[in-house]
Structure 1
Amino acid sequence: MTADDAALRRPMSVEPEALRRLCVAAARRSGADRETAEALARSIVLAERRGRPQVGVTHLLDYLAALEAGAIRGDAEPLTDRRGVVLRADARRNIPHVAFERLLPELTAEARRSGVAVLAVREAYTCGELGHFTSAVAEEGLVALAAANSPALVALGAAGGAVLGTNPFSLAAPAPEAPVLVDQGIGRVAYVSIREAAQRGESLPPGWALDRDGRETSDAGAALEGSLLPDGLKAANLGLVVEILAGLAGGSWSVDAPPFDGGAESPRVGLFLLALDPELAGPGFLDRLGRHVARLEREHGVAVPGRRRARLDRVELDAALLADLRRRAGEAEIARRLRDRPAR
């Protein structure tokens, strides 16, 4: 690595609110209306603060490119209706975050009234961090289960071609201090991590990916032309479950969805979210859950997902990535106020 390369990859520390403003400005300049830009920025910053940079600012660049290409209609108003406890939304090729934020109050109210409520979003761009949606429901005192598909990236079967998305699955439940939050895909690594490895010329560990001829490869560039491998048969089965739930929400099947990182066509995927009132299990369930989680952590040494770290007070970004975001935001005044400094 040259000195220039090292300088570009030097981590810089940014305050979350300053980062949010930059993300909003960049999304607005790329064609998003105010509501879409704010919803997207909130999800990106929260992913970074949770220590998940692969669905943070790096992934924001995919959203910006999709806005500029027309794959995301950043000013589209979602069309909503309901059938009993099921709230439905046509995102009209916008990000699902807009429909979700609009319907969250109605979703939580229905879950408290009926014990259960469902949100089904169709015709949407990809979700990014799925835990963004479930954790928002958990903050309202409810248990949330969500599934979303994506364009086909993962192989399943002897042919070796991509037939499933990375298909994230998430569950969040309220607990003292921090909620339980499970958020995972079915591959051994995120697609954006493979892409970054290809850009850096790095090799992949065995068992991560196949080339376009269906042969296992350690070449990240060949993997981009081929497919990812699921993290075992059980993960593959979970991917099928997610695909069915996303299809139930009205989303395209993954094999029919155009790539999310190129072109003007929307993947038109589905988001399925189930909100449950914990009182379904009887009074005091959340207290029981809190005690159980504490016991798992204290007596059994379990690292319960979602509770391993506090939200970061400052976000670290590569210097080159921060500079690119500033350029895309095009707001010198915001950039001057960032008060960034090299991370210690």
Structure 2
Amino acid sequence: MTGTVTIGMEEALALCESAARRAGANAEVAVSMARSAVAAEAEGKASVGLAHFVDYLEALEAGRIDGNAVPEITRPAGAIILSDAKGGAAHPGFDRAFDDLVDTARKFGVAIFSQKNAYTCGALGYFAGRLAERGLVSIAATNGPALVAGAGGTKPVYCTNPLAFAAPAAGGPPLLIDQSSSATAFVNIRKAAHAGQSIPEGWALDAAGNPTTNASAAVKGTLLAFGGSRGANIALMVEVLSAGLSGANWSLDAPPFMTGSQSPGTGLFVLAIEPKLLDPDFDIRMAAQLRRLADDYGVHIPGLAKAEARRNSREAGLSVPRTVHEAITRRAAALKP
């Protein structure tokens, strides 16, 4: 059966929470994961929205996510918050530390959240964007199992290693940049393979290290960084920030996130900055600069489309592929009262 199903955001949250509980998550983990996936879906990022939530459910069932893991939060220094996810999801540790992270950034001007031993985090912009909504400038980085070749190489050594940046703007949605270090996200390659579609040149290599436009061959091969060595260097920077500083698995050492029963043990790095301690008018100047770039120079401002999509989703609901809706509903329906 094809087509889509339209559901409200609150209904989607309840559905995902129930499915996660049935798959083995406790209430805290279920809510934390559901909020991130529904937020991504509402912003139009379907590849890391409810379709990716099905990956979370399968990971819970297989043991790649410990649904009852309790993050261990420690404070080794005044402006540093560490989280050991203990093989669980990436989101509960951040949720637990969020208010403290905001308060610490406002007190010291900067604060760092660093996490290890987590499942992959989905939409990275979710973490940076939440801080921007509280008036903070934020940079976030995360890694995962090796999928992307390094500069000059043909074998995967990094994950897609995304980098996210967010900054508040007075009277409007924040600037929000969220992009992978690879030419495209792995989920887009996988989606093309499932649909039997080709992919553009420059996205991937096959298993033999040859350039390919065959998505199925790319899934078995290696993704390429955007911009050649420049993108690969950014992937390495992200690797150091997320895995190196936290003690998480390097991408080369991370178990796969789609198969097996082991957590990939990934890292997450989030830097929060209180801009008003540097310039009290930052958010006002930011808003004026974004308007000037857009209105006078035709510049695309990342984050505006996401904000508009969120408004539309709240009013009209989420249009979800029927197969995805059924996969989640099937699990949720099996939850015992």
Give 1:4-19 correspondences, 5 Å limit: 7-8=1-2, 10-19=3-12
Deviations 1:274-319 (CA, angstroms, capped at 9, x unpaired): 0100123222111111111111112112121011241123211112
How has the CA–CA distance of structure 1 residues 158 and 112 changed in structure 2, closer, same or farther, with 3 Å as cutoff?
A: closer
Q: Do the aligned residues in 2 keep the contact of 1:120 with 1:250 (CA within 8 Å)?
A: no
Give 1:197-212 correspondences, 5 Å limit: 197-212=192-207
Percent of aligned pairs with the same amino acid: 43
Q: Do the aligned residues in 1 keep the contact of 2:18 with 2:335 (CA within 8 Å)?
A: no
Match of 1:284 in 2: 281
Pair 1:194-2:197 in alignment: no
Q: Distance in 1 between matches of 2:68 and 2:109?
A: 34
69-78 or 150-159, larger mean C-alpha shift: 150-159
Match of 1:79 in 2: 72
Residue 112 of structure 1: which of 93, 98, 106 is its match?
A: 106
Match of 1:326 in 2: 329
SS of the equivalent of 1:64 reads helix
Q: TM-score, normalised by structure 2?
A: 0.94
Match of 2:230 in 1: 234
Paired AA for residue 237 in structure 2: V
Residue 102 of structure 1: which of 82, 85, 96 is its match?
A: 96
Deviations 1:141-186 (CA, angstroms, capped at 9, x unpaired): 1111110011101112444111110001001111132110000101
SS of the equivalent of 1:272 reads strand
Pair 1:219-2:222 in alignment: no
Paired AA for residue 279 in structure 1: K
Q: Distance in 2 between matches of 1:319 and 1:123?
A: 33
Give 1:52-71 correspondences, 5 Å limit: 52-71=45-64
Match of 1:23 in 2: 16
158-167 or 126-135, larger mean C-alpha shift: 158-167
Displacement of 1:331 after TM fit?
A: 6.0
RMSD: 1.5
Q: Do the aligned residues in 1 keep the contact of 2:54 with 2:327 (CA within 8 Å)?
A: no
Displacement of 1:322 after TM fit?
A: 1.4
Match of 1:169 in 2: 163
Q: Do the aligned residues in 2 keep the contact of 1:150 with 1:254 (CA within 8 Å)?
A: yes
SS of the equivalent of 2:199 reads coil
SS of the equivalent of 1:178 reads strand
Q: Distance in 2 between matches of 1:317 and 1:96?
A: 24
Paired AA for residue 124 in structure 2: L
Paired AA for residue 251 in structure 1: A
Q: Do the aligned residues in 1 keep the contact of 2:54 with 2:324 (CA within 8 Å)?
A: no
Deviations 1:24-47 (CA, angstroms, capped at 9, x unpaired): 111111000000000000000000
Pair 1:181-2:176 in alignment: yes
Match of 1:127 in 2: 121
Paired AA for residue 294 in structure 2: E
270-279 or 156-165, larger mean C-alpha shift: 156-165
Q: How many correspondences in the alignment?
A: 326
Residue 263 of structure 1: which of 245, 260, 264 is its match?
A: 260
Q: Do the aligned residues in 2 keep the contact of 1:11 with 1:318 (CA within 8 Å)?
A: yes
Q: Distance in 2 between matches of 1:48 and 1:24?
A: 15
Q: Distance in 2 between matches of 1:138 and 1:15?
A: 25
Q: Do the aligned residues in 1 keep the contact of 2:21 with 2:335 (CA within 8 Å)?
A: no
Paired AA for residue 199 in structure 1: H
Q: Distance in 2 between matches of 1:158 and 1:276?
A: 35
Q: Distance in 1 between matches of 2:162 and 2:335?
A: 37
Structure 1 stretches of 5 or more lacking a match?
1-6, 334-344
Give 1:304-315 correspondences, 5 Å limit: 304-309=301-306, 310=308, 311=310, 312-313=313-314, 314-315=317-318
Q: Distance in 2 between matches of 1:328 and 1:291?
A: 47
Q: Distance in 2 between matches of 1:60 and 1:206?
A: 29
Q: Distance in 1 between matches of 2:55 and 2:300?
A: 32
Q: Distance in 1 between matches of 2:164 and 2:33?
A: 19
Residue 147 of structure 1: which of 141, 144, 148 is its match?
A: 141
Displacement of 1:11 after TM fit?
A: 2.4
Paired AA for residue 63 in structure 1: Y
SS of the equivalent of 1:308 reads helix
Paired AA for residue 198 in structure 2: S
SS of the equivalent of 1:32 reads coil
